[in-house]
Amino acid sequence: MKQVEIRGIIPPILTPMNDDESINVAELRNQVNRMIDNGCHALFCFGTNGEGYILSGKEKQLVLETVVEECNGRVPVYAGTGCISTKETIEQSQMAMDVGADVLSLIVPSFAAASQEELYTHYSTVAAAVDMPIVLYNIPARTGNALAPATVGRLAAIENIVGAKDSSGNFTNILGYIDQGRASDPNFSMLSGNDQLIIWTLLAGGNGGIAGCANVYPHTMASIYDLFMEGKIEEAKKMNESIQSLRGCFKYGNPNTVIKTAAALLGYNVGKCRAPFNQIPEEGIEALKKVLKENADKGMH
């Protein structure tokens, strides 16, 4: 199994699209270099901000092949290969292993209600089928199922389940994952999926975050981790706080639609999110433009 240090600020990289909703491979390569050049510590393909929920298996393979090739080993590449069924999750995970991803991120299965025992069986079965590091991914608002800290503790005992990402927005849950995960594996890694909680996750002993806002401000977001590691805690807190105005625009639409729109307003040819999840009212566009201008004047990038 690959040995990969799970750490830092990891953008769930946008999937740029042309007007016909096909993948814009050239712009995807541009975004890979933009993220790396601005100090991000890894890249995460087809996460929520990468619209993994709406890409076909073939499209996911194209995105991952492009990112792995363009990245060329400069930083680790994560692949979000979780699906509703265990069978398809294994198929996607094996695809990612073959393409050359470094880490798998497995979102909790969605739509149908799942017991903790069903979730444990799902993850343990996938882990047995791939020789790769796996990061669990909890986002109950989107999936309808929540991974309990006690279940994370059980899963952490499996050799290639090496960490978890929590996007519940519940800091108590993050603390529970750290406590339960490290009771089974002292090296179990914890990533915040909520950008607001990155610095607090680090202060609690976590390892970083998978940060959607890094698609807009890669340098600013990467600095949270870098400053923290340098012991500059107050500066790291200020960097984390600086994204509040951007997050305040999330009220105007789907957060990943807001993030992709913001990147487009900055001049990047990322296109729109795939329909129907691609609309922001005019007042939201104006609010975004105002925030982007204010933050540019502050030197955020």
Residue 190 makes CB contacts below 8 A (sequence gap 6+) with 163, 164, 166, 174, 177, 178, 181, 201, 204, 205, 206, 207
| Cα–Cα dist 161/120, whole Å | 12
Tokens of 187: 């090296």
Q: Which residues are paired to 9 by β-bridges?
A: 209
Active-site positions read 137, 165
| Cα–Cα dist 31/187, whole Å | 31
Q: What is the chain written as a DSSP string? A: -------EEE-B----B-TTS-B-HHHHHHHHHHHHHTT-S-EEETSTTTTGGG--HHHHHHHHHHHHHHHTTSS-EEEE---SSHHHHHHHHHHHHHHT-SEEEEEPP-SS---HHHHHHHHHHHHHH--S-EEEEE-HHHHS----HHHHHHHHTSTTEEEEEE-SS-HHHHHHHHHHHHHH-TT-EEEESSGGGHHHHHHTT--EEE-GGGGT-HHHHHHHHHHHHTT-HHHHHHHHHTTHHHHGGGGGS-HHHHHHHHHHHTT----PPSTTS----HHHHHHHHHHHHHHHHTT--
